[in-house]
Structure 1
């Protein structure tokens, strides 16, 4: 009898937890819709961060994305996002649910992909989840095998490592909007990235977790090479936004100032894996003897060889 009662109580508890989560999501969605309606009525904004709000995104990306999509209603209603973990916190989940876009999400952890496929959104919406560890050599095949090629609305890149090199390799899709994570610790002056390593994992590369990705200057350089224009970052200094050149005139007059921000959060760790919360220029000192590549020249050197990694504008914000 006790076992039966425990099972019943356990089931009730799980159902209550699920119900509470669904209620919270419904409230968040409603709030997001209301904010989106307000923001989308603006003819112009001071900067991208002016329209930030968070429903499912890590920071304010939901608001920025919704505003951009409202300004570009002609773009395909499809997206690709990779490095999504279990997709509970992501750049495109609000877009999927609120605007019924078609999407492809990719993560290298089978457990994460299983969570996505067991989520109710997987049958309620047009979403495909693929489990694959992304490299510059397999990314285009992943897209093709999943049925995503040609024109798409949004490409969101966040793999905490080879972001620059993977984006550089992509040639099977032509996104209208690109969202790419940048490494604030690498500054905003030099176009540098970590060297490509197929099996890169940032906490193995350096215990601090700070040796990863590319500087925002490197992403701007690549964007220009690929025919995109930088339009700003979110306020916490994590994601950069780019619009394809043919679409840029539509949004250019609606954004008064193109701004970028250094990261405001800190996830630095010591050799024991404990958070140390080191901020500002001190973060750079942790990895200053590690190599980076100047993506314009191809030259490799240590970060310590660079002077003035941060602009005065960024230094004032640190």
Structure 2
């Protein structure tokens, strides 16, 4: 006797529900194992009181590179005033500089992304009800950032501020007056080099993918961020090994940390795009050549000039690393 399709529907639904249940259980087990391993690594850092460079204490849990380990080491070795953080540019918060901090140390947090859809995804994540987390959608610029922070309630001393908006990072960092973080993480554009204090000219509507087809024209050089940080009383501690996130700390805390080399690293990341938006893998010095005609503001002279007009962008150490022949 042939089986009717309607007779199979309940069985199909049961099997689908069972499959989803097993999938969730596997994810839960994997997540617990991940957090257990990360906690063990965090505990191992306590023996590292002196380090050569911040990259020595890197490990990755939810961060893009090794920022989770660096943040954990800094918190272990600094008298943090407030167990709270603010992070800009988090997308759906699956990959971020503060997710491990939220889960491992249960800090309070405020995260911002320009995409409403991304923020909706964050609010659906169990992390949103398990922790004290605020998630809002704003397109951040230097005019609105202080009002946004005031309205959120994160408007005084905080433990950590992370800025990664792929555009007006310098301008937003420089404009912030509402919060006084102990630690600041800010993305720098290593393609701009380490010799000059330059940034993209301010445009409140700046979008990296529109500004130049290569996607390499954005943000500010490490020297530009150092200048902004110094005006606010912060000093550079170094960077991650990948060479795109710089770490700063309040000047009165800098001497409590034993770090031999506090220089930022150059980047070898090959994230350039072609005219169709696909990765083109421009390498080494070729990356700067792609955007040599693009305007940058020289913060030391106040003049807006083409990036290529500077000639050399990289000091000897950076140049040797970036221009070295492929292995």
Q: Does 1:291 align with 2:295?
A: yes
Q: Residues of 2 paired with 1:15 and 1:275: CA distance?
A: 37
Once residues 195 and 303 of structure 1 are traced to their aligned partners in structure 2, the CA distance between those partners, rounded to angstroms, is 12
1:68-94 CA-to-partner distances (Å, cap 9, x unmatched) read 000114421000001000000100011
Name which of 269, 279, 297 aligns with 1:265.
Answer: 269
> Corresponding residue for 2:106?
100
Summarize deviations over 1:99-124 as a string: whole Å, max 9, x none.
11000000010111011101001010
Deviation readout 1:145-194 (Å, 9 max, x if unpaired):
11111100000000000000011111000000000000011111100000
Q: Distance in 2 between matches of 1:9 and 1:279?
A: 49
CA separation of 1:122/1:190 partners in 2, compared to 1, >3 Å: closer, same or farther?
Answer: same
Q: CA deviation at 1:131?
A: 0.9
1:215-230 aligned at under 5 Å gives the runs 215-230=221-236
1:71 to 73, 77, 94: 77
Work out whether 1:84 is the aligned partner of 2:90: yes
1:316/1:145 CA distance change after superposition, 3 Å: same
Output one character per residue of 1:217-264: Cα deviation in whole Å (capped at 9) or x when no partner.
11111111111000100000110000011111211xx11111321112
**Cα distance in 2 between the residues matched to 1:31 and 1:305:** 49
Tell me, yes or no, if structure 1 residue 32 matches structure 2 residue 38.
yes
- Identify the match of residue 134 of structure 2 among 118, 128, 135: 128
Give the alignment partner of residue 316 of structure 1, picking from 305, 317, 320: 320
* SS of aligned partner of 2:195: coil
Deviation at 1:311, TM superposition (A): 1.0
In the aligned structure 1, how far is the partner of 2:149 from the partner of 2:15? Answer: 44
Cα gap change, 1:6 to 1:210, in 2 (>3 Å):
farther
Give the one of 277, 282, 288 matched to 2:281.
277
CA spacing shift, 1:274–1:227, aligned 2, 3 Å:
same
1:35-78 superposed Cα distances (whole Å, 9 cap, x missing partner): 11111222201110000000110100000000000011442100
Report the Cα distance in structure 2 between the residues aligned to 1:13 and 1:156, rounded to whole angstroms.
Answer: 39
Q: Are 1:52 and 2:43 counterparts?
A: no
Larger deviation: 8-17 or 154-163?
Answer: 8-17
| Structure 2 runs not aligned, ≥5 long | 1-6, 323-327
* 1:118 and 2:124 matched: yes
Alignment of 1:170-209 (within 5 A): 170-209=176-215
Cα distance in 2, alignment partners of residues 136 and 119 from structure 1: 30
Distance 1:19 1:291, change over 3 A: same
Alignment correspondent of 1:210: 216
Report the counterpart of residue 12 of structure 1 in structure 2: 18
Checking the alignment, whether the CA contact within 8 Å between 2:80 and 2:159 is kept in structure 1 is no
How large is the RMSD of aligned CA atoms in angstroms?
A: 1.2
- Cα separation, 1, equivalents of 2:15 and 2:26: 16
Secondary structure, aligned partner of 1:133 = coil
Shift, 1:23, TM fit: 2.1
Give the unaligned 5+ runs of structure 1.
none
Larger Rg: 2
The one-character-per-residue Cα deviations of 1:281-309 (angstroms, maximum 9, x if unpaired) are 10011111010001233210001111110
